[in-house]
Structure 1
Protein backbone atom coordinates (compact mmCIF):
# COMPACT_ATOMS: atom_id res chain seq x y z
CA UNK A 1 0.00 0.00 0.00
CA UNK A 2 1.42 3.35 -0.98
CA UNK A 3 2.03 5.91 1.73
CA UNK A 4 0.40 8.41 -0.63
CA UNK A 5 -3.01 6.70 -0.35
CA UNK A 6 -5.69 8.87 1.23
CA UNK A 7 -6.84 7.85 4.70
CA UNK A 8 -9.96 8.67 6.66
CA UNK A 9 -9.77 9.72 10.28
CA UNK A 10 -12.91 8.94 12.27
CA UNK A 11 -13.45 10.20 15.80
CA UNK A 12 -16.43 9.91 18.09
CA UNK A 13 -16.71 11.95 21.25
CA UNK A 14 -19.19 13.26 23.77
CA UNK A 15 -19.05 16.94 24.65
CA UNK A 16 -18.92 17.43 28.43
CA UNK A 17 -18.06 21.16 28.43
CA UNK A 18 -19.84 23.20 25.76
CA UNK A 19 -17.75 26.35 26.22
CA UNK A 20 -14.50 24.38 26.14
CA UNK A 21 -15.63 22.51 23.05
CA UNK A 22 -16.59 25.77 21.33
CA UNK A 23 -13.05 27.04 22.02
CA UNK A 24 -11.63 23.83 20.49
CA UNK A 25 -13.96 23.99 17.50
CA UNK A 26 -13.17 27.60 16.57
CA UNK A 27 -9.42 26.85 16.65
CA UNK A 28 -9.65 23.47 14.90
CA UNK A 29 -9.86 24.37 11.20
CA UNK A 30 -6.88 26.77 11.15
CA UNK A 31 -4.76 23.96 12.63
CA UNK A 32 -6.12 21.41 10.13
CA UNK A 33 -5.84 23.53 6.95
CA UNK A 34 -2.05 23.42 6.43
CA UNK A 35 -2.18 19.62 6.13
CA UNK A 36 -4.36 19.50 3.03
CA UNK A 37 -7.06 17.56 4.86
CA UNK A 38 -10.70 17.59 3.78
CA UNK A 39 -13.33 17.72 6.51
CA UNK A 40 -15.88 15.25 5.13
CA UNK A 41 -18.72 15.47 7.66
CA UNK A 42 -19.88 15.45 11.25
CA UNK A 43 -23.06 14.06 12.72
CA UNK A 44 -24.54 14.49 16.19
CA UNK A 45 -27.38 12.05 15.56
CA UNK A 46 -26.24 9.09 13.46
CA UNK A 47 -28.60 6.24 12.69
CA UNK A 48 -27.51 3.15 14.60
CA UNK A 49 -28.26 0.05 12.55
CA UNK A 50 -26.91 -2.47 15.03
CA UNK A 51 -25.49 -2.42 18.55
CA UNK A 52 -25.26 0.54 20.90
CA UNK A 53 -23.62 3.92 20.45
CA UNK A 54 -22.66 6.45 23.05
CA UNK A 55 -24.26 9.86 22.60
CA UNK A 56 -22.03 12.41 20.95
CA UNK A 57 -20.47 13.65 17.74
CA UNK A 58 -18.85 11.58 15.01
CA UNK A 59 -16.49 13.28 12.57
CA UNK A 60 -14.81 12.07 9.39
CA UNK A 61 -11.76 13.82 7.92
CA UNK A 62 -9.80 12.73 4.85
CA UNK A 63 -6.02 13.21 4.77
CA UNK A 64 -3.79 12.84 1.70
CA UNK A 65 -1.84 10.04 3.43
CA UNK A 66 -1.31 8.42 6.80
CA UNK A 67 2.03 10.22 7.02
CA UNK A 68 0.30 13.61 6.70
CA UNK A 69 -2.38 12.61 9.22
CA UNK A 70 0.30 11.65 11.75
CA UNK A 71 2.22 14.89 11.11
CA UNK A 72 -0.98 16.80 11.95
CA UNK A 73 -1.82 14.58 14.94
CA UNK A 74 1.67 14.99 16.43
CA UNK A 75 2.14 18.66 15.52
CA UNK A 76 2.71 21.00 18.47
CA UNK A 77 -0.28 23.08 17.33
CA UNK A 78 -2.67 20.13 17.39
CA UNK A 79 -1.26 18.63 20.59
CA UNK A 80 -1.97 21.98 22.31
CA UNK A 81 -5.47 22.02 20.82
CA UNK A 82 -6.06 18.36 21.74
CA UNK A 83 -5.47 19.26 25.40
CA UNK A 84 -8.52 21.55 25.16
CA UNK A 85 -10.51 18.71 23.55
CA UNK A 86 -9.47 16.34 26.36
CA UNK A 87 -10.89 18.76 28.93
CA UNK A 88 -14.12 19.36 27.01
CA UNK A 89 -15.00 15.91 25.63
CA UNK A 90 -14.76 12.21 26.23
CA UNK A 91 -13.38 10.48 23.14
CA UNK A 92 -14.75 7.00 22.48
CA UNK A 93 -12.90 6.03 19.34
CA UNK A 94 -10.37 7.26 16.87
CA UNK A 95 -9.66 5.32 13.71
CA UNK A 96 -7.51 5.57 10.62
CA UNK A 97 -9.22 3.94 7.66
CA UNK A 98 -6.94 3.10 4.75
CA UNK A 99 -7.92 2.80 1.10
CA UNK A 100 -8.82 -0.62 -0.24
CA UNK A 101 -5.55 -2.49 -0.98
CA UNK A 102 -4.62 -3.06 -4.60
CA UNK A 103 -5.28 -6.62 -5.87
Structure 2
Protein backbone atom coordinates (compact mmCIF):
# COMPACT_ATOMS: atom_id res chain seq x y z
CA UNK A 1 0.00 0.00 0.00
CA UNK A 2 1.40 3.39 -0.99
CA UNK A 3 2.24 6.10 1.51
CA UNK A 4 2.72 9.81 1.09
CA UNK A 5 4.78 12.59 2.55
CA UNK A 6 2.75 15.77 2.72
CA UNK A 7 5.02 18.71 3.41
CA UNK A 8 4.44 22.43 3.84
CA UNK A 9 7.61 24.49 3.58
CA UNK A 10 8.35 28.17 4.08
CA UNK A 11 11.89 28.91 2.92
CA UNK A 12 13.51 31.68 4.96
CA UNK A 13 17.07 31.41 3.63
CA UNK A 14 17.17 30.33 -0.04
CA UNK A 15 20.97 30.04 -0.16
CA UNK A 16 21.10 27.67 2.81
CA UNK A 17 18.04 25.78 1.56
CA UNK A 18 19.92 25.06 -1.67
CA UNK A 19 22.17 22.77 0.37
CA UNK A 20 19.12 20.69 1.31
CA UNK A 21 17.98 20.60 -2.31
CA UNK A 22 21.39 19.29 -3.37
CA UNK A 23 21.36 16.38 -0.90
CA UNK A 24 17.71 15.31 -0.52
CA UNK A 25 17.19 13.72 -3.98
CA UNK A 26 19.57 10.85 -3.17
CA UNK A 27 17.35 9.80 -0.27
CA UNK A 28 14.20 10.00 -2.38
CA UNK A 29 15.69 7.93 -5.22
CA UNK A 30 16.99 5.30 -2.78
CA UNK A 31 13.50 4.79 -1.32
CA UNK A 32 11.43 4.70 -4.52
CA UNK A 33 9.86 8.15 -4.09
CA UNK A 34 7.83 9.85 -6.79
CA UNK A 35 6.91 13.53 -6.58
CA UNK A 36 3.22 14.19 -7.21
CA UNK A 37 3.27 17.91 -6.37
CA UNK A 38 6.19 20.19 -5.65
CA UNK A 39 5.83 23.92 -5.15
CA UNK A 40 3.34 24.55 -7.94
CA UNK A 41 0.47 27.00 -7.99
CA UNK A 42 -1.77 26.54 -4.95
CA UNK A 43 -5.01 28.03 -3.69
CA UNK A 44 -5.74 28.11 0.05
CA UNK A 45 -9.39 27.29 0.73
CA UNK A 46 -9.17 26.96 4.52
CA UNK A 47 -6.50 27.60 7.12
CA UNK A 48 -3.32 29.65 6.98
CA UNK A 49 -1.54 30.43 3.76
CA UNK A 50 1.70 28.47 3.43
CA UNK A 51 4.41 29.11 0.85
CA UNK A 52 5.24 25.72 -0.64
CA UNK A 53 3.40 22.39 -0.77
CA UNK A 54 4.96 19.03 -1.60
CA UNK A 55 3.37 15.58 -2.00
CA UNK A 56 5.68 12.60 -2.43
CA UNK A 57 4.49 9.05 -3.03
CA UNK A 58 6.41 6.03 -1.66
CA UNK A 59 5.79 2.34 -2.39
CA UNK A 60 4.98 1.61 1.28
CA UNK A 61 4.68 3.26 4.67
CA UNK A 62 7.93 1.54 5.66
CA UNK A 63 9.71 3.09 2.65
CA UNK A 64 8.40 6.55 3.54
CA UNK A 65 9.62 6.24 7.12
CA UNK A 66 12.94 4.68 6.10
CA UNK A 67 13.58 7.61 3.76
CA UNK A 68 12.97 10.13 6.53
CA UNK A 69 15.24 8.21 8.91
CA UNK A 70 17.99 7.51 6.34
CA UNK A 71 21.51 8.88 6.67
CA UNK A 72 21.06 10.70 3.36
CA UNK A 73 17.94 12.51 4.47
CA UNK A 74 19.32 13.28 7.93
CA UNK A 75 22.26 15.00 6.20
CA UNK A 76 19.85 16.95 3.98
CA UNK A 77 17.76 17.99 7.00
CA UNK A 78 20.90 19.21 8.74
CA UNK A 79 21.66 21.46 5.75
CA UNK A 80 18.08 22.78 5.88
CA UNK A 81 18.21 23.65 9.59
CA UNK A 82 17.45 27.32 10.10
CA UNK A 83 16.73 27.83 6.40
CA UNK A 84 13.03 26.92 6.42
CA UNK A 85 9.99 26.21 8.52
CA UNK A 86 8.88 22.70 7.61
CA UNK A 87 5.89 20.51 8.49
CA UNK A 88 6.03 16.93 7.21
CA UNK A 89 3.37 14.26 7.72
CA UNK A 90 3.51 10.67 6.50
CA UNK A 91 0.09 9.36 5.48
CA UNK A 92 -0.76 5.80 4.55
CA UNK A 93 -2.63 5.50 1.27
CA UNK A 94 -5.82 3.59 0.60
CA UNK A 95 -5.69 -0.12 -0.21
CA UNK A 96 -5.05 -0.89 -3.89
How many residues are treated as equivalent by the alignment?
Answer: 96
Instruction: Report the aligned-residue RMSD.
Output: 1.7
Unaligned runs of 5+ in 1: none
User: What CA distance in whole angstroms lies between the structure 2 residues aligned with 1:43 and 1:81?
Assistant: 18
Alignment match of 1:52 (pick from 25, 48, 59): 48
Specify the alignment match of 1:96 in structure 2: 90
TM-score (norm. length: structure 1): 0.81
Give runs of aligned pairs for residues 1-103 of structure 1, distance below 5 A. Answer: 5-43=1-39, 45-54=41-50, 56-91=51-86, 93-100=87-94
- Greater Rg by CA: 1
- SS across alignment from 1:10: strand
Question: What is the deviation of 1:23?
Answer: 1.7
- Secondary structure at the aligned position of 1:87 is classed as coil
Report the TM-score when normalising by structure 2: 0.87
The whole-number CA distance in structure 1 between the counterparts of 2:52 and 2:76 is 17
Structure 2 Cα separation of the partners of residues 101 and 19 of structure 1: 40
Unmatched runs of 5 consecutive residues or more in structure 2: none
